[in-house]
Amino acid sequence: MTARLLDGRQTAAAIRAEVAAQVERRRQQGLPPPGLAAVLVGDNPASQVYVRNKHKACQQVGMASWVHQLPADISQERLLDFLQELNADPRVHGILVQLPLPRHIDEFAVQQAVLPSKDVDGFHPENAGLLALGRPRFYPCTPHGVLQLLWRAGYDTLGKEVVIVGRSNIVGKPLALMLLQKRTAQNPAGGEATVTVVHTRSRDLPALCRRAEILVVAAGVPGIITAEMVAPGAIVVDVGIHSVEGRLVGDVHPQVAQIAAALSPVPGGVGPMTIAMLLVNTLQAAEHIDSRGSASELFPRSFRLGL
């Protein structure tokens, strides 16, 4: 038996089509296209691929997109000034500063400099706090992509034993919060799961992982999850992505496909979903700015994506 494939490319394409329809509806109403500004500092080759993919995805759905390539040695002060310009630009509804940043730049300072209402990554402390309190403004793209991939494949997390491997601010932590929340019309990406977050310091990682009905792996270590760490019939979502000897691999060892009931692969799983959810957030940012007249207000409703 080999696992059912959770096809992130196909699911992301379906979400892009939903977003494209909303962008077209806006156009017919005479509204400007949602606009995303991506900021890339330095020339990390992986970051260049991701930012290019985001730019292509924006164009595909009819959004405006700008890629700002800044030199690796730009000062933090200049970068923060540049972000203020994007904050003030009415054509820009969403701002994304690609991570990782060069070492001389304080990531937290940069995340705080993005206007919270344009923070389509959901990394600003105000947005992280709102998510933690059950009042999400933007769902962080990768965790939301994981939940959408599961939901659209027919897997409900309600009451399930979900184990998350990894405790990062961009995946593990926000995903845990989303999985705990109730699913409501205002909060459609809730989970109501029993959530366990494990990490490299956890005692007996294999036993903890084997408890999972749904195992989400965002550890950042190639192949760390092997077949004996997975319960037969589990659903496994691989969030890791690494270039190893010229090939893309995830955190989940290929032998897991023989044990799991379903598996989200790398590439072709969470990566394309992350980009699709970025488009959703950019659309949401544009919608609320238009409908409320103010970019700084709390968004009153979530963009629901057919849930």
Could you list the residues known to form a binding site for NADP(+), using ranges: 166-168, 241
Please, what is the Cα angle at 24 between 22 and 30, to 5 degrees?
Answer: 110
Q: Is the peptide bond before 140 cis (omega within 30 degrees of 0)?
A: no
> How far apart are CB 287 and ligand GUE at their closest, in Å?
21
Residue 139 lies near ligand GUE (rule: CB under 6 A): no
Footprint of ligand GUE on residues 200-239 (CB under 6 A)? none
> How far apart are CB 100 and ligand GUE at their closest, in Å?
7
98 catalytic residue (yes or no)? yes
Q: Could you say which of 22, 111, 119, 121 is catalytic? A: 121
Q: What is the DSSP letter of 228?
A: G
Q: What is the DSSP letter of 188?
A: T
Using CB atoms, what's the residue nearest to ligand GUE?
Answer: 271
> How far apart are CB 160 and ligand GUE at their closest, in Å?
24
Footprint of ligand GUE on residues 25-84 (CB under 6 A)? 49-50, 53
DSSP string, 126-176: HHHHHHHTT--SS--HHHHHHHHHHHHTT---TT-EEEEE---TTTHHHHH
Residue 279 lies near ligand GUE (rule: CB under 6 A): no
Cβ proximity to ligand GUE: between 205 and 285 the closer is: 285
Residue 268 lies near ligand GUE (rule: CB under 6 A): yes
Backbone torsion region of residue 159, taken as left when φ is above 0, otherwise alpha when ψ lies between -120 and 50, otherwise beta: left
The alpha carbon of residue 248 and the mean position of all alpha carbons in its chain are separated, in whole angstroms, by: 19
Residue 272 lies near ligand GUE (rule: CB under 6 A): yes
> Given the DSSP bridges, would you call strands 262-264 and 4-5 parallel, antiparallel or unpaired?
parallel
Active-site positions? 54, 98, 121
The contact set with ligand GUE (CB under 6 A) reads 49-50, 53, 96-99, 121, 141, 241, 248, 266-268, 271-272, 274-275
